[in-house]
Structure 1
Amino acid sequence: MSETRRGGFGRLLTGAAWVALLLALWLRGHDIAEEPIATAPRPGDVVAQGRPPAHGLPPAHEPLPGAGPQGLIIKNMGLRAPIEGHGLDPLGGVEPPPYERPGSVAWYQDGPEPGASGSAVLVGHVDTKTGPAVFYELSTVKRGDQIAVARADGTIADFTVEDVSVVAKDHFDVDRVYGPEDTRRAELRLITCGGDYDRDQHEYSANVVVTAYLTGTERTPRPA
């Protein structure tokens, strides 16, 4: 019921008070409902309604100096979530947060920081045994939507969604999914599970992959 069930990526939080305040001011919390999931995005499905034309996307912003991520904000999803640094599990997949923290997102800390050059990878559960998790609605993100990452240096890296796709796990190209579309840009990947859920194998058949790139930055206001 998440991307770690033998087919997605495989299987702490540090933060300052000002980051928590920022996230609280930007959004209300994301409520967790109960299972079951009605339908998951299937391979070949791409959220297209309301997408702006390709030429309508903003230009890329110059990559930022490296700084660890602390919070993820997707206003159109009503999502705000803490980000944890993780490495790889014994099978070589990105290790997501444990099921006890379904509202957290894992950043692959051996790769680029969000906002820095290259492709930063964030993964999260789509659901747990008790209900939806942090990326349950990730497939509803559209081209042109905004994603913000609060960083440890007091900056917010603003990203624009460029592509939303569902990739079958038997056609999952690690280099293509994780690698940057343009090495001159700062890019972001958000990844969770999609497709059909095999109750015998305890795994989903596909992954939802959101590709975004850096288009702006701002300073985090510190509380008095």
Structure 2
Amino acid sequence: MSGTRPRTRPGTGGSGTVRAVVGVLWAFLVLVLWLWGGGAPGGAAGRAALTTGDMAAVGRPPGVPRAPAHAPLDAAEPRHVEMPALDISAPVVVRGLDERGAVAPPSFETPDTVGWYGGGARPGERGAALFVGHVDTETRPAVFYGLSAARPGERIRVTGADGRITEFTVDDVRVFAGDRFDARAVYGPREEGRAELRLITCGGAFDPATGSYTANVVVSAYLTGTR
């Protein structure tokens, strides 16, 4: 459901409901680790095979050229992410795998924090760096609440532990139906050899019957500058 803005659910569900909402997202992350042999730093190999019929996409307007890609860098771990067009400005924390083998999400006690999968590419390195965040909590919007409103051409800035800022340009925005999630299209690089970034959260409609959202919002961006 492209362009559908996820909604908060004040007074509904419980801690189990909220955990179910994000459980779908984190299960998908486990799948990609399997697909690419554990997500070694440097990103996944292979070009993404884009699919049709299972997602809605927002592409570049006709006649608008794409910004040239910057060569991949020897990047540091991320510490902060900013997307001015959506008023997103958040600290980034390193996340790994929990005891069940799933990627551990940011705590619900810090819903305005973004998680970076530390076993994969660093932002600016060759491959696709994965950033994940909650869309909401039981009572209020979270860090990626407005992510479905992102548009191609908008900028994302990531500050590394070394103080360097890497700038990414949004390439496309896609909403993947949860029952037809394409891990390669989400996590694989769109163009071989580029440094890319993914911002991922829940999307679509909230289904009270299942306690989860029906889709995932995926913003794909690529490195276009550094300072």
The answer, yes or no, to whether TM exceeds 0.5 is yes
Q: 2:100, 2:22 → 1: CA distance? A: 12
**Contact 2:186–2:218 (8 Å) recurs in 1:** yes
Which residue does 2:31 correspond to in 1? none
Question: For 1:162-194, what per-residue CA distance to the aligned partner results, in whole angstroms no more than 9, with x for missing partners?
Answer: 010100111112222111112210000000001
Q: 1:54, 1:154 → 2: CA distance? A: 36
- Residue 135 of structure 1: which of 144, 153, 175 is its match? 144
The amino acid of 2:205's aligned partner reads D
Q: CA RMSD in A?
A: 2.1
Q: Secondary structure at the match of 2:185?
A: helix
Question: Percent identity between the aligned chains?
Answer: 48
The amino acid of 2:83's aligned partner reads I
When normalised by structure 2's length, the TM-score is 0.75
Q: 2:118, 2:26 → 1: CA distance? A: 14
- Residue 208 of structure 2: which of 196, 199, 206 is its match? 199
Structure 1 residue 196 displacement after superposition: 1.8
Which residue does 1:208 correspond to in 2? 217
The structure-2 alpha-carbon separation of the partners of 1:2 and 1:146, relative to structure 1 and needing over 3 Å to count, comes to: farther
- Residue 157 of structure 2: which of 133, 136, 148 is its match? 148
The structure-2 alpha-carbon separation of the partners of 1:146 and 1:187, relative to structure 1 and needing over 3 Å to count, comes to: same
The structure-2 alpha-carbon separation of the partners of 1:141 and 1:121, relative to structure 1 and needing over 3 Å to count, comes to: same
Count of residue pairs brought into register by the alignment:
185
Which residue does 2:74 correspond to in 1? 65
Q: 1:2, 1:146 → 2: CA distance? A: 31
- Residue 184 of structure 1: which of 193, 201, 206 is its match? 193
Q: Does 1:163 align with 2:180?
A: no
**Contact 1:2–1:128 (8 Å) recurs in 2:** no
The structure-2 alpha-carbon separation of the partners of 1:103 and 1:3, relative to structure 1 and needing over 3 Å to count, comes to: farther
The 5 A counterparts of 1:75-154 are 75-90=84-99, 92-154=101-163
Bigger shift: residues 62-71 or 92-101: 92-101
Gaps of 5+ in 2: 1-17, 29-53
Q: 1:173, 1:3 → 2: CA distance? A: 20
